[in-house]
Structure 1
Amino acid sequence: MVSLTPTARLITLFTPALLLLLAMPAQARWQQQDWDVMGTRASVTLWSEQDAAPLFDALKEEMARLNALLSPWVESSELARVNAHAGETTQTISVEFYQLLARSLDYYQLTDGAFDITFASAGHLYDYREGKAPNDTQLAAANQHIGADRIELTAPDKVRFRDPGTRIDLGGIAKGYAIDQGIALLKEAGVEHAYLSLGGDSYVLGDHRGRPWEVGIQHPRSKQDIAMKLPMADLAMSTSGDYQRYFIQDGRRIHHILSPKTGKSIDGLASVTVLCDNSIDADALSTSVFVLGADKGLALINRLPETSAIIIDREGNVTYSNDLTGG
């Protein structure tokens, strides 16, 4: 019989426990990260037993990819190429880009033209950083090129513009799509509780470990204040507001949500929040309701299943869709 030294016995005694400890995952905890992308601030908070750094990197990579695909300010983006050449010759595009264009045209029809990605035909004339807006003559010329019926799609990967002066911008749908892509990535990784936001768009995955998430709607006239908090779980939220990109000119608020009919900023509302099952729809609908106005916008929302809206006008009055009031 082989005798063990005291040291050897001590190691033998504790080896199973040490192996078990090494095999156990890291202690589950909330992990969070912020970064800048797509012209705004992205933020993610999630519950995981593992180090979430690889997941954060994957989210950053996916959103950077979408920015490179959809940004009008990146010269090599697919959107920039289409704007530059689709008015001259038919362009071959990725299936992903084609599907986003098709989805945008569906919303053009659903909203009677309120959601119109060709607003960019006038929108590119605004410079919100420099506080510059086009004059009436410039707008009148640009408005002749607005109208999504000028976009011709041929499945599965072709697009052309019937009007060479037409431009598009997917700003009313791109961030919502990016959120949905990010949530799909988190689900694939097994994450069950998370909050992902990108500017005014967000999605809560699961609950907050036994209680709802509380997501705030920014006060449209105070960056530091919250207008109201909403309890949420497994739900998308998008807020469109006249405070996100704007400047004041001759006493008028010039902001980025433009009327497809006039090419000018929409007056009347300060904030529209839409809640539904996915972020791409919430994003498109919050823009659409803002353009339609409170009455027509709520009439649209009240026709759609599992969709809610909260509207704040410039006087601070709050209006809700029927499902939130019991109507």
Structure 2
Amino acid sequence: MISGTMTRRRMIGISAAAAGMALLPFGSMAAVPEAVTWQGEAMGAQASLTIHHPDHSTAEKLAAMVVTEMRRLERIFSLYRDDSDLVLLNRQRFLVAPPKELVEILLLSREAGERTGGAFDPTVQPLWDAYRRHFSTPGASETGPSAEIVRECLARVGLARIACSPDRIELPVPGSALTLNGIAQGYITDKVVDLLRAGGIERSMVDMGESRAIGSAPGGRPWRVGISDPQDSARILKVLEVEDRAVATSSPFGFRFDAEGQFSHIIDPRSGATPQRHAGVTVVAGQAALADALSTAFNLMDAAEIAAVLDGMAGVEAHILSHGGKWARICA
């Protein structure tokens, strides 16, 4: 690990400071008088929180607020909690008076889908379930689910079919389901940043699975975010310097359904295939939710298509890692 550089996807962490206060690096719990620290689990990963503030009680209250917010949003978006609003929506195909955050994230998803020509679509969950069922069946064909099964799943995919309003969310097609795994971590990161800023924090690096910097690092330097090898998280391939920007990374190596690694978790909602065009994609943007969604979609698009999406999106850039280990930077 490069000294002073936060490595992507190693842990969930927040290190924050009010104006004029020092900052501790992630993973360091060294005690200072003004520091309030917390360690636990969030979003299924080990998490740490360090807040520096001249008033200790203010730091304690802010830390408690951040943890409470993480828990609250996790209960809305998680697919792995039976009591989450998303699981309830998928189970009964409607939700009356849904949480405003669920409505907001679906609208953000719709915008990302429109930008990417449908490459980003959270209604892809039926396809994910089909791949999981297929490869968990003993003796399953190495070629993946049949074309017929894929067609049946694609008939349930399409965010435009979802009715979404502050009063009601409805999945009108039987068998349809949502996953927010391609945007929720970024969205939660943005909400935590909003909370920290409202609490007077002027410098922070927030990593909720996706990263977002508030201000500059100690000494007025940019924050350094290390992009790790998708097949070896301990090896950093590239370092990005950011201030007041978010960084999100997606890779087909994150999860594979089959032992041979031919079918990844990044499924094209337009075709039902898992093309694995790139080894990984990192997006830098002003908001973590946007960076998260684009990094997912760009794994399904070639360089020309990515450039077309980014045309006119000032301040947004994509770093594409080829399977041969080469990097390409694309921006407006």
1:313 to 306, 319, 322: 322
Residue 321 of structure 1, CA deviation: 1.2
| 2-structure distance, mates of 1:298, 1:45 | 38
CA contact (8 A) 2:252 2:264 kept: yes
Residue 312 of structure 1, CA deviation: 0.4
Aligned to 2:221: 211
Aligned to 1:21: none
| 2-structure distance, mates of 1:178, 1:75 | 19
CA contact (8 A) 2:212 2:246 kept: yes
CA contact (8 A) 1:193 1:205 kept: yes
Residue 164 of structure 1, CA deviation: 1.3
Aligned to 2:243: 233
| 2-structure distance, mates of 1:299, 1:94 | 34
- Answering whether residue 98 of structure 2 is matched by residue 93 of structure 1, we say yes
Cα distance, 1:104–1:214 mapped onto 2, change above 3 Å? same
2:151 to 123, 140, 143: 140
Aligned to 1:64: 71
| 2-structure distance, mates of 1:68, 1:90 | 15
Aligned to 1:22: none
| 2-structure distance, mates of 1:76, 1:252 | 32
CA contact (8 A) 1:236 1:279 kept: yes
Aligned to 1:121: 126
CA contact (8 A) 1:214 1:231 kept: yes
Deviations 1:25-83 (A, max 9, x none): 9x943245554322344455555334444433322221111111111222221111111
CA contact (8 A) 1:120 1:167 kept: yes
Deviations 1:62-115 (A, max 9, x none): 1111111111222221111111222xx674312221122122112222211111
Cα distance, 1:303–1:42 mapped onto 2, change above 3 Å? farther
- Higher RCO (CA 8 Å, separation ≥ 6 residues): 2
Residue 195 of structure 1, CA deviation: 0.6
Aligned to 1:106: 111
- Answering whether residue 248 of structure 2 is matched by residue 243 of structure 1, we say no
| 2-structure distance, mates of 1:35, 1:235 | 26
| 2-structure distance, mates of 1:142, 1:247 | 17
Aligned to 1:173: 183
Cα distance, 1:120–1:50 mapped onto 2, change above 3 Å? same
TM-score (norm 2): 0.79
Residue 272 of structure 1, CA deviation: 0.8
SS in 1 for 2:91: helix
Residue 237 of structure 1, CA deviation: 0.8
Cα distance, 1:183–1:141 mapped onto 2, change above 3 Å? same
Cα distance, 1:275–1:131 mapped onto 2, change above 3 Å? farther
| 2-structure distance, mates of 1:58, 1:294 | 41
Aligned to 2:35: none
Residue 131 of structure 1, CA deviation: 6.5
Residue 228 of structure 1, CA deviation: 0.9
SS in 2 for 1:252: coil
Cα distance, 1:262–1:192 mapped onto 2, change above 3 Å? same
CA contact (8 A) 1:44 1:196 kept: no
1:190 to 200, 209, 215: 200
Deviations 1:225-262 (A, max 9, x none): 1111111111111111122223543x334322111023
| 2-structure distance, mates of 1:280, 1:244 | 19
CA contact (8 A) 1:45 1:195 kept: no
| 2-structure distance, mates of 1:43, 1:235 | 21
Cα distance, 1:288–1:215 mapped onto 2, change above 3 Å? same
1:39 to 32, 35, 44: 44
Structure number, greater radius of gyration: 1
SS in 2 for 1:283: helix
Q: How many residues align?
A: 292
| 1-structure distance, mates of 2:122, 2:176 | 10
- Answering whether residue 299 of structure 2 is matched by residue 290 of structure 1, we say yes
| 2-structure distance, mates of 1:58, 1:74 | 21
Residue 169 of structure 1, CA deviation: 0.9
Aligned to 2:163: 152
SS in 2 for 1:179: helix
The share of aligned pairs that are identical, in percent, is: 28
CA-based RMSD of the aligned residues comes to 2.6
- The gaps in structure 2 that reach 5 residues or longer are 1-17, 27-37
